[in-house]
Structure 1
């Protein structure tokens, strides 16, 4: 049986796996010829990873947050990942790149789970519920902390 930690780790792995190659290289500080350049695109990547948790209420102690509210923490976590690991995720050897992406996903999910508590929205997924806002308010109430507005 899959745990919540498994679900979160898998969501991050998928985000990293489907990232366009140019975005992956930018995050690793590589140009199209794999030469070192300035790291770019970290905020966009963090936003994408945070959006993966749209079907969750995310608790920071007592405050309930929606997924965009964790993007700054994800950004910090992405910057903390060693550059060598980010570059390994761009390797031409698929197994090496996959292993690096899995390790990156493990680091990110461990950091998220250490900081936040994730609660799946009942009977809701971000892709199939027509009114996510209403479902969130029904389950967790309006005005339950500063992160309750989107």
Structure 2
């Protein structure tokens, strides 16, 4: 498959090619891309979502656009709730954890995107989402997209 600069490859979280560890599970939601997302990621590093076969033609830093939902709140009152950012660990090709706080989307059926730079090898890569802290969950993951960083070339 020919790939040009800026090309975006999209990977659905519920794709059967992905690995779901532990309690992580595919769930239906008409608001999600493809009608499904993966939830219950976290509460220990065994409960993870791993995208397999994330292909890029050459090694380098890419923009990973993560579509997710997070409506966690702290507090039992119906008013004045504190919305909570959800922490997620991201590991590329089994490498060291890269932590990221995903903002609150204010609705479990409300999906937003956040962008994280990731270094990928030429060929297929794995990208794992998890949260190793007991009682803490990553956001629900709908899909990811990989886009090339914008390089400004001089035209001759």
Q: Does the alignment reach a TM-score above 0.5?
A: no
Which structure exhibits the higher relative contact order, with contacts defined as CA atoms closer than 8 Å and separated by 6 or more residues? 2
Higher strand share: 2
Task: Give the TM-score, by structure 2 length.
Answer: 0.31
More helix by share: 1
TM-score by length of 1: 0.32
